[in-house]
Structure 1
């Protein structure tokens, strides 16, 4: 079964929505591992800071089934889909990696891994030795070579991550 990695983010009641999502993920994926949670500034718009983290788990779901599952997690937290890419949200659950699957037309591996500090560095926490699909580098090597600013990440202690 493939190992999947996801990114979670919220800036509307973020602790409530992230923790509700983590609780559901733990029920459905007992081997769930999570990075620390980080508060980060909103990207691309003026808005409240986000809480972001990454998580990994083994899944029997297909790529398509997992994408739909993540959408239902967002919907369960009241995600409003208004068409604006950069906006406040209750929950953003993005599939970053699905095994070693390469689907550039489907944004897999997700472009945000190499584009945002709040995705790359938390992913490195939970999967440093993972070879990035399509490259001969590990996530740790990519992070060490990245110019993405770590100083924008402020660790936040979430009770739901200590369980």
Structure 2
């Protein structure tokens, strides 16, 4: 079984789509746990605030199957292939880690945003603090401890 971590985000009807993700992921993956939900301002474009969290899970699916499944779930929840990288999202599901795999296809792993965005790193630290980043050779907790927390503002929310 592979250990996977998925970043979940939304800034369009965000409570609805976050709740949808919380409900659907356990139907496809095992041992699913979630971080707290965080709200943050948009990064890279002007838009509504985002809700973000991270799911930890295990799976027998291959890396390719997990990537395809996450894209399918996004499409089923209003995403289109034409959506730009820095734009509003109904549901954004990004695979952060698939065990300790390092690759560029079918997805960039580990995901570059892990070390760059507080809205990914803080929730990831909640569910994967002891997990070792295979490129940085540091635990996720250590990466969060070293992160410049003045770069991005985010706060926990309840939905």
Please indicate the TM-score interval, normalised by the length of the shorter structure: over 0.9
**More displaced 10-residue stretch of structure 1: 109-118 or 140-149:** 140-149
Give the match's secondary structure for 2:57. strand
Give the match's secondary structure for 1:31. strand
Query: What are the within-5 Å matches in structure 2 for residues 5-84 of structure 1?
Result: 5-84=5-84
Give the match's secondary structure for 2:138. coil
In the aligned structure 2, how far is the partner of 1:110 from the partner of 1:80?
21
Residue ranges of structure 2 left out of the alignment (5+ in a row): none
Question: Quick check: 2:117–2:152 contact (8 Å CA) kept in 1?
Answer: no
Say what the alpha-carbon RMSD is for the aligned residues. 1.5
User: As a proportion of its length, which structure holds more strand?
Assistant: 2
Residue ranges of structure 1 left out of the alignment (5+ in a row): 159-163
In the aligned structure 1, how far is the partner of 2:45 from the partner of 2:136?
32
In the aligned structure 2, how far is the partner of 1:98 from the partner of 1:86?
24
Q: Shift of the alpha carbon at 1:30?
A: 3.8
What's the CA shift string for 1:85-135, capped at 9, x where partnerless? Answer: 110010000000000111146410000001100001100001101111133
What's the CA shift string for 1:43-81, capped at 9, x where partnerless? Answer: 111110010001110001100000000001101111133
User: As a proportion of its length, which structure holds more helix?
Assistant: 1
Q: For residue 116 of structure 1, what is the aligned residue in structure 2?
A: 117
Count residues in correspondence. 158
Q: TM-score, normalised by structure 2?
A: 0.93
